[in-house]
């Protein structure tokens, strides 16, 4: 018995060694990013590099001079919130209908929704751009938000949640005289809250980090998102790495903070996409 | 409560075995009409959005791929010209080769994620949450920011990686500007940033494996390594299949990392390694929104779609060989 336990802790020691080494590889780039962001350009390009951060806090101020960082932060925030709100309102409605209501053509319509999920996004982009251009909405907030509000993925994810709910609840409510809207809003929707939160968190994450669409549709620096704004610095100011590191850190920080608080929902959302049942 | 399915129809619901009221199964016609109307009403808002912004655009892109665009808008039907042009376009060919190579090499992420998930799945291991968080950090971080950091780490003169290599006497290359290593450097970042995502999916898959299998294996005298290969791997193969399908689809669409690490436009083309870094989607971006050659760009993504369909179909055919459904 004692031998078995010592063997187990022994093997765990090995496991921890491997995991700690791997974790260091995962984290080191972020640590180096933070350290560099506080160095002067001279210190940053000094060989051998110093592992100490320095105290060049002005790099963070310079980010705001290089970019309309405040504007871009706000654009990103509004885009992420707008898309997320759209998805958590619209997706469960359709998901509920596909999972729980009967109507002619349900199968065909769901097939169409699924096909959107399978087509690579680049196939939508030229016509989407045309639509925005025709409406005169290039360089606008609604251009950033609009197409991203409609998510076939969200419908698919939540349909699974609705399918898992027992039928009896619905029937009981129906016998009490509740109509479909009432059943949806008061009975079913509250029960899929974990799925809804997972969708919201993923929508927030993907919107915040999205690059291609914002890059294409909003080219005016004041109307850009953070990811497009940062990308626009590349090449132009490629030598001032400490400032770039400060900007990168600031831009990704909000999501990392949200992640720290809502870890379980992130992980659940991801795991949901990958595992049946 | 098991419901025996009636042959060929879903019209009649059988009442549950325990105390269902007979006659409740078929509801009045009016109710069914009302239900159907609500169904359409619930689907309408998102259905319209998807139709306008996604379904119709796919058809339009397919149409555009047979047209040539003028500099000031307007397009003319040119049949298969764009596709012919692609056959002789060296840059497109190279971008496709790069993308396929990136996709194939990126699959390394899967065995690595499985190994780390298995380590995290050991009974009684402490700190699982902390490890999982650290592995997951690159997944939630903005790809543009990640690309910036790695560009800096890869810097040939001041980069941390070459400094660390110099400590052990290796003279590191200028990673992103050296055609021989640039693609591998890119793959490394891709693998690094996707491991956490795959790991979470595999961990969920492993936790769904019934403990009894491991107990039985243990009784038969199998150690942890043997259990991993005889129990975990076969039972995890459906998950691995799913992950490989989404990884391939995702890798074929690689854009963000390269766009930032390799750059775009003339500045990027000055990089001798650029031809080894450019991906299909990056070329698409360039043709569609930089040189305004939208008909050709549409043809490029149509071909990308065909490649995605072909590789996904191939994986589905191959799964009989290695995927075990329990």
In a shared domain, residues B295 and B267: yes
Domains observed in chain A: 57-272 (1.10.3720.10)
CB under 8 A, 24+ apart: contacts of B70-79: B71/B292, B75/B294, B75/B295, B78/B295
In a shared domain, residues B108 and B157: yes
Q: Report the helix count and the strand count for chain B, using DSSP H and E.
A: 17, 2
| Residue A228 · residue A211 · CB < 8 Å | yes
In a shared domain, residues B30 and B89: no
Which pLDDT tens digit goes with each residue over B88-104? 999 999 999 999 999 99
- Give A274 or B108, the one with higher predicted confidence: B108
- Which pLDDT score is estimated for B49? 97
Percent of chain B at pLDDT > 90 equals 78
Q: Which of residues 84-103 of B touch A (CB under 8 A)?
A: none
- Residue A235 pLDDT grade (very low, low, confident, very high; cuts 50, 70, 90): low
pLDDT over 90 (residue B30): no
Q: Which residues on chain B are in Cβ contact (under 8 Å) with A49?
A: 158, 160, 163
Out of A149, A180, A274, closest to residue B242 by CB: A274
> Where would I find the H helices in chain A?
2-37, 41-44, 58-66, 69-100, 106-118, 122-134, 141-145, 152-163, 167-175, 180-182, 189-191, 193-209, 212-217, 226-233, 241-261, 263-274
User: How far is CA B282 from each of CA A198, A209, B87, B156, rounded to the nearest angstrom?
Assistant: 31, 17, 18, 24
- Give B12 or A206, the one with higher predicted confidence: A206
pLDDT over 70 (residue B9): no
In a shared domain, residues B124 and B268: yes
Please report, for the domain that includes residue B235, its CATH number.
1.10.3720.10
Residue B16 lies in a domain: no
Out of B36, B131, B201, closest to residue A270 by CB: B201
Residue B288 lies in a domain: yes
Residue B76 lies in a domain: no
- Residue B74 pLDDT grade (very low, low, confident, very high; cuts 50, 70, 90): confident
CA angle A195, A199, A205 (to 5 degrees): 145
Q: Identify the closest residue of chain A to B191 by CA–CA distance.
A: A26
The pTM of this model reads 0.90
Q: Which of residues 106-125 of B touch A (CB under 8 A)?
A: 116, 119-120, 122, 124-125
Span A65-85, average pLDDT? 96
Please compute, for residue A180, the number of CA atoms within 13 A of its CA located in the half-sphere on the CB side: 20
- Give A183 or A271, the one with higher predicted confidence: A183
Which pLDDT tens digit goes with each residue over B147-174? 999 999 999 988 999 999 999 999 999 9
- Which pLDDT score is estimated for A174? 85
Percent of chain A at pLDDT > 70 equals 92
Residue B207 lies in a domain: yes
pLDDT over 80 (residue B19): no
Which pLDDT tens digit goes with each residue over B238-293? 999 999 999 999 999 999 999 999 887 777 888 899 999 999 999 999 999 999 99
pLDDT over 60 (residue A5): no
Is residue B3 exposed (0-12), middle (13-18) or buried (19+ Cβ within 10 Å)? exposed
Number of domains in chain B: 2
pLDDT over 50 (residue A69): yes
Contact B196 A149 (CB under 8 A): no
In a shared domain, residues B38 and B178: no
Range of the domain at B33: 25-64
Residue B74 lies in a domain: no
The answer, yes or no, to whether ipTM is higher than 0.85 is yes
- Residue A29 pLDDT grade (very low, low, confident, very high; cuts 50, 70, 90): very high
Residue B60 lies in a domain: yes
Which pLDDT tens digit goes with each residue over B111-132? 999 999 999 998 889 999 899 9
Residue B7 lies in a domain: no
């Amino acid at each position: 018995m004692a031998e078995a336990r010592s063997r187990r802790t022994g093997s765990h020691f090995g496991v921890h060694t491997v995991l700690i080494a791997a974790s260091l590889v995962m984290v080191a780039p972020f640590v180096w990013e933070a350290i560099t962001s506080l160095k002067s350009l001279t210190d940053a390009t000094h060989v051998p590099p110093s592992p100490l951060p320095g105290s060049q806090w002005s790099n963070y101020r310079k980010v705001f001079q290089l970019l309309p960082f405040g504007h871009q932060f706000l654009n990103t925030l509004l885009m992420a919130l707008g898309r997320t709100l759209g998805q958590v309102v619209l997706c469960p409605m359709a998901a509920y209908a596909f999972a729980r209501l009967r109507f002619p053509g349900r199968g065909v319509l769901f097939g169409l929704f699924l096909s959107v999920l399978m087509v690579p996004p680049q196939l939508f982009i030229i016509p989407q751009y045309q639509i925005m251009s025709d409406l005169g909405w290039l360089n606008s907030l609604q251009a950033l938000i609009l197409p991203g509000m409609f998510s076939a993925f969200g419908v698919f994810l939540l349909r699974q949640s609705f399918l898992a709910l027992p039928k009896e609840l619905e029937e009981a409510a129906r016998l009490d005289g509740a109509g479909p809207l009432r059943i949806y809003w008061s009975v079913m929707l509250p029960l899929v809250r974990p799925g809804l939160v997972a969708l919201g968190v993923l929508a927030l994450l993907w919107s915040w980090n999205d690059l291609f669409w914002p890059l294409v549709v909003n080219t005016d620096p004041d109307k850009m998102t953070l990811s497009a704004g940062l990308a626009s610095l590349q090449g132009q100011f490629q030598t001032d790495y400490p400032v770039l590191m400060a900007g990168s850190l600031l831009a990704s920080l909000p999501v990392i903070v949200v992640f720290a608080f809502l870890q379980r929902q992130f992980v659940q959302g991801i795991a949901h996409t990958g595992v049946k049942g | 409560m098991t419901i025996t399915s009636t042959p060929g129809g879903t019209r009649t619901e059988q009442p549950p075995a325990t105390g269902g009221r007979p006659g409740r199964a078929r509801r009045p016609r009016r109710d069914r009409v009302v239900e159907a109307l609500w169904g359409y009403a619930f689907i309408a808002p998102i259905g319209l959005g998807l139709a306008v912004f996604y379904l119709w655009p796919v058809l339009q892109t397919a149409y555009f791929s047979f047209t040539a665009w003028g500099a000031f808008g307007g397009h003319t039907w040119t049949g298969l010209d764009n596709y012919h042009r692609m056959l002789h376009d060296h840059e497109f060919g190279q971008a496709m080769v790069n993308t396929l190579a990136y996709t194939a090499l990126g699959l390394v992420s899967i065995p690595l994620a499985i190994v780390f998930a298995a380590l995290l799945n050991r009974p009684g291991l402490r700190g699982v949450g902390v490890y999982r968080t650290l592995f997951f950090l690159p997944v939630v971080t903005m790809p543009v920011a990640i690309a910036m950091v790695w560009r800096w780490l890869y810097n040939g003169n001041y980069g941390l990686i070459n400094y660390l290599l110099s400590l052990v006497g290796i003279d590191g290359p200028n990673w992103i500007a050296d055609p021989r290593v640039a693609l591998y450097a890119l793959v490394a970042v891709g693998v690094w940033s996707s491991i956490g995502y795959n790991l979470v999916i595999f961990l969920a898959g492993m936790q769904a494996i019934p403990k009894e299998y491991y107990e039985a294996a243990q009784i038969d005298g199998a150690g942890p390594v043997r259990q991993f290969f005889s129990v975990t791997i076969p039972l995890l193969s459906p998950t691995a299949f799913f992950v490989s399908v989404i990884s391939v689809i995702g890798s074929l669409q690689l854009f963000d990392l390269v766009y930032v690490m390799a750059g775009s436009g003339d500045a990027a083309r000055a990089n001798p390694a650029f031809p080894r870094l450019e991906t299909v989607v990056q070329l698409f971006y360039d043709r569609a929104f930089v040189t305004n050659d939208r008909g050709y760009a549409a043809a490029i993504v149509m071909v990308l779609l065909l490649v995605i369909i072909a590789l996904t179909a191939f994986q589905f055919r191959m799964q009989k060989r290695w995927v075990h459904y329990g």
